[in-house]
Structures are given as C-alpha cells and as structure tokens.
Structure 1
Amino acid sequence: MGRVMLLFICSLIFTIVPSGLAHSWSEGSPDWEAFASQYRRLAADEKFDLAERLWNSKYAEMEQYVQTLPDQHKEAWTRLDMYGSTNNLEETRWEEGLLTFLEVTSSDNPYPVITEKLEHFSDRSLSSVPLDDIEKEWNMIRPVVMNFVDKAKVQEADQALQELSIVDSVTGREHFSGKIIELVQVKSQDDWNAFLLTVLFIGGAILVTLLYVGAINYRESSKNRHTMKSSHS
C-alpha cells in the first residue's frame, strides 16, 4: 500500500508540472519571425513595392492563422488591421503593429518578446522622437500588450500618455516611460510568484511523501521489533 501511494504522488508531481509544456508542444503555430524580419529589411531599405507584395502574398495565411487564436487575439488583430489599413506603408510604420502581433502570438514564450518591445518603446519615449510618433507606436503595441499584462497598468500608461499630450515635457516623458516599464515589472513579479507557488507545491508534496514513507517504515520496524521480542520471550 505504501509503495502504491508513493508511486501515485510521484506520478502526480511529474505530470502536473510538464502538462503546460506538453500542451504548448501539441499546438504547433506558424513561425512568423522570418517573415517579419524579411518584411522589415525590405521596408528599411525603402523597397516598399517589394514589401507590399510580400505582405499581400502572406495576408491570406495571416487571416487563416488569426482564426485559430482565442477571441481576444482576434479582436486585437481586427483593431490593428483597421489602424494599419492605409496605402502608405511609411505612415503605418510598415505594419509594425501587425508584425508584433504575429511574433508575440506565435511564440512559445511570448513574454520575452513583449518585454523587448516595451523596453525599446520606453527608451524611444525618452528620446527626441516626436510625441505624435510615440502615440502611433503605442497604438500599435497596446492591443497586443493588453492580452498579456495587467489591464489596469495599461490604463495607467494611457493616462500618462494623455497627460503628456497636453504638455510634452521631460518629466512627463519620464513618467510615461516608467509606466511602460511597470508593465514588464508586473509580469516579472507574477512569474516569480508562480514559480514560488510551484516550488512550494512540489516541495510540500515531496515532504508529505517522505513523512508518509517514514511513518510506514517506522511502523513496520516497530512491528518487527515487537515480533522479535515476543519470539525471544
């Protein structure tokens, strides 16, 4: 009975933790990183005609991919697609919002991608980049970010940007940049908390198992000693 219980608890430990990984492996998603990289190179070289042709050749596949995603991601795609629906690629920053969406949602671990985007955007908001460009870039990042971070923190960033639009100052930009960084920090804290809970759960399960096995062994040992004493008397 003791061995059966031990095997059951060990099986529970080693199946619960990797279950999320197994789930992600089973759901293969397209890798859009190469496409995004190629598109950005063409746009950076001002080869807008080639970039547009590349975009159009993949757009149907993008739409099919989006249909496989949860509803909140579909809504984000719709907002970004409407925002980028213009014939002037330069005005839309080469569809950067949609590219970010594809990179984030198709990644096995989207949070490092989001962190990199937000940190880069935070640095740009502190530079001499015109406020109008900062607002456009935020509009392209925001729909994607909303599905992965604390929405209340996103609203705080919105408020900081609104205040900055009234008076564009160094202090205002620093405040807005700080709110963007908080989006990353909150997620990092959540990851750490989840890690601690996992460690506590596994550690507790192991401790209970050891105590149970120890109690069984102690009882068996006591029984054997009692039997030996009885046989000698």
Structure 2
Amino acid sequence: MGRAILICFVVSLSLWIPNNGHHKYIHAEHNTWSSFTEQYRHLYHDEKYELANRMLNNRQKEMEQYISTLSNQHQEMFNKLIDPIISVQSQEQKVEVEKFLSFINAMGSDHPQKYARQELQTLRNQINQIDQIDQDRASFVNNWKALLPTLQLYFDQKELSVVTQSVAVFGNSEMLATQQDVVRRLDKLLEDETPVINYDAFIWTAVIIGCTILITLIYVGARKYVAEKKEKKTHDKLNS
C-alpha cells in the first residue's frame, strides 16, 4: 500500500511542476499567435479597424478556449485587456491594443514566463540606447505600459509598482538621473528569479493528490476486506 501511495503522489506531483515557474530557464521559440499579432498590429496602426476587428473575431474563440485552461488570474487579465479594444476601435486605443497583443504573444509562447522575462530584458536594453529625446522617452514609457499587464502575472506587484513610478518620472524628465533610476530598478527586477507560485495549480494539485490517496486507501481496504471474508469462509468450511 505504501508503494502505491508513493507512486500516486509522484505522478500527481508531476502535474504541479510545470506550473510553478521553473520552466522559465527553457528557451521559448514557438509562438502560436505571433503571426496574428503582427498582422493585427499593422492593420490597427494603419487605421484599418474593420479588418483588424474581423481578424480578432476569427481568432477570439480559439484564444478564449486556451485561456480558459489557465488560472483565474490569466482569465481575468484576458477579459480586462480585450474589452477595451472590442468596444472601441480608434486611434486612442493603440496602447490598449499593445497591452492585449503583448499578453497574447506571451500566452502563445511555449513558456509564457520566460517570454515575459525576455521582453523585460528587451526593455532594459532599449533604455540604454535612449538619448534625451522626448519621442524616445515616450516610446519607452508606452512599451512599459504595454508589457505591464503581462508582467503582473509573473512578477511581484510591489516591485512592478516601484518600477512604474520610476518610469513615469523618467517620461516627464530630461534628467539623466531618472533614466539611471529606471535602469537600476529594472536590473533589480530581472535579478529576482523567485518564481511566482500559481496558487490555482497548487490547489488543484492538492485536491488531486488527496483524492488519489483516498481512492488508493479505499481500494486497498476493499481488497483486504474481500480477502479476509474469503479466508473466514474457507476457515468455517474446514471447521464444519
């Protein structure tokens, strides 16, 4: 019985491992929706909103089906990001579109958390190349805003809030010190490789393990009861 429980525990535990963030060290190449996001972005920036909306409608059901397999936090973020670009199609929504496309790109990758870290590293490299030009700063700020909802799924909220404040100051200042402050905070964020635990996955894993152990105990108990009953019947026949 002990071996059976151990095997069930190990198998159930394997269901938990892929969700706890350790996969972030695996390089992610494949992205299911990258071609969609590129085409959608071009259409939207060219103000071809009707075509962009048609593309989104064609893939929306597929996206929703995949997102429904993820945690409640992922599902809430998907709904939060898609609602503004469905309800309003206009020039002012470009930042909202970029937020949604960043999220979809991450979810379409083999390893979303790894993808989010790579995009964060790209931002870190971008700020090093910025001269004190308003357009460059504005572009960086918008890129940070676009990536932030995805980062919120995998990084500590307080740390992200601190970086956001620093980015806002940098966007409104030409001082070199504000740029250096953003760099320092981004470096700190990238250095922190503590995985964010998916508590939904943890709960489901605990339920699976508990049910597996319970079923195993019931099965072993039933087998023991049947064996004892047969043994008693045989014993009674011998004594009769």
Rounded to whole Å, the distance in 2 between the matches of 1:126 and 1:48 is 31
Q: Is the 8 A contact 1:79 1:143 kept in 2?
A: no
Counterpart amino acid of residue 36 in structure 1: S
Aligned residue for 1:102? Answer: 104
Higher relative contact order (CA 8 A, sep 6+): 2
Rounded to whole Å, the distance in 1 between the matches of 2:42 and 2:55 is 14
Task: Choose from 149, 169, 194 the match for 2:175.
Answer: 169
Q: Is 1:132 matched with 2:138? A: yes
Q: Is 1:144 matched with 2:146? A: no
Rounded to whole Å, the distance in 1 between the matches of 2:125 and 2:40 is 24
Aligned residue for 1:120? Answer: 122
Three-state SS of the structure 2 residue aligned to 1:143 is: helix
CA shift at 1:139, angstroms?
Answer: 1.9
Three-state SS of the structure 1 residue aligned to 2:33 is: helix
Relative to structure 1, is the Cα distance of residues 8 and 59 closer, same or farther in structure 2, using a 3 angstrom cutoff?
Answer: closer
Aligned residue for 1:155? Answer: 161
CA shift at 1:183, angstroms?
Answer: 2.4
CA shift at 1:19, angstroms?
Answer: 3.6
Q: Is the 8 A contact 2:170 2:178 kept in 1?
A: yes
Rounded to whole Å, the distance in 2 between the matches of 1:182 and 1:16 is 35
CA shift at 1:146, angstroms?
Answer: 0.9
Rounded to whole Å, the distance in 2 between the matches of 1:140 and 1:183 is 17
Q: Cα deviation per residue 1:112-133 (whole Å; 9 max; x = unaligned)?
A: 1111110112222333353222
Aligned residue for 1:40? Answer: 38
Q: Is the 8 A contact 2:106 2:112 kept in 1?
A: yes
Q: Is 1:80 matched with 2:81? A: yes
Give me the identity figure in percent.
Answer: 17
Q: Cα deviation per residue 1:37-77 (whole Å; 9 max; x = unaligned)?
A: 34415745977756554333212333444444433223322
Relative to structure 1, is the Cα distance of residues 40 and 22 closer, same or farther in structure 2, using a 3 angstrom cutoff?
Answer: closer
Q: Which region of structure 1 is more displaced relative to structure 2, 34-43 or 141-150?
A: 34-43
Q: Let me know the Cα RMSD of the aligned residues.
A: 3.8
Equivalent residues, number? 179
CA shift at 1:142, angstroms?
Answer: 1.0
Q: Is the 8 A contact 1:164 1:172 kept in 2?
A: yes
Q: Is the 8 A contact 1:80 1:140 kept in 2?
A: no
TM-score by length of 2: 0.56
CA shift at 1:93, angstroms?
Answer: 6.4
Gaps of 5+ in 1: 25-31, 192-233
Aligned residue for 1:20? Answer: 16
Q: Is the 8 A contact 1:126 1:170 kept in 2?
A: no
Three-state SS of the structure 1 residue aligned to 2:94 is: coil
Rounded to whole Å, the distance in 1 between the matches of 2:143 and 2:96 is 11
Q: Is the 8 A contact 1:72 1:147 kept in 2?
A: yes
Aligned residue for 1:71? Answer: 72
Counterpart amino acid of residue 62 in structure 1: M
Aligned residue for 2:63? Answer: 62
TM-score by length of 1: 0.58
Counterpart amino acid of residue 34 in structure 1: T
Q: Which region of structure 1 is more displaced relative to structure 2, 175-184 or 62-71?
A: 62-71
Relative to structure 1, is the Cα distance of residues 55 and 82 closer, same or farther in structure 2, using a 3 angstrom cutoff?
Answer: closer
Relative to structure 1, is the Cα distance of residues 33 and 190 closer, same or farther in structure 2, using a 3 angstrom cutoff?
Answer: closer
